[in-house]
Amino acid sequence: MIVLKSKAEIDIMRVPGKVTAKILLDLRGIIEPGITTREIDAYVEGEILRHKMIPAFKGYNGFPASTCVSVNQEVVHGIPSERKVAEGDIVSIDVGCIYKGYFSDAARTYPAGKIPDVAQRLITATEASFFEGLKFCKVGYRLSDISAAIQARAEADGFSVVRDFVGHGIGSAMHEEPQIANYGAPGRGPRLAAGMVFAIEPMINQGSYDIRVLKDDWTAVTIDGQLSAHYENTVAITDGEPEILTL
pLDDT digits (tens, 9 = 90+) for 220-246: 999 999 999 999 999 999 999 999 999
d(CA 204, CA 229): 5
Domains of the chain: 7-244 (3.90.230.10)
Confidence of residue 181 (pLDDT cuts 50, 70, 90): very high
SS3 197: strand
Digit-coded pLDDT (tens) for 72-113: 999 999 999 999 999 999 999 999 999 999 999 999 999 999
Predicted local distance difference test score (pLDDT) of residue 106: 98
CA 56 to CA 65: how far, in whole Å?
A: 10
2 three-class SS: coil
Amino acid at 18: K
pTM (whole model) above 0.85: yes
Please state whether beta strands 106-111 and 74-76 pair in parallel, antiparallel, or not at all (unpaired): unpaired
- Torsion sign (Cα): 220, 171, 99, 127: positive
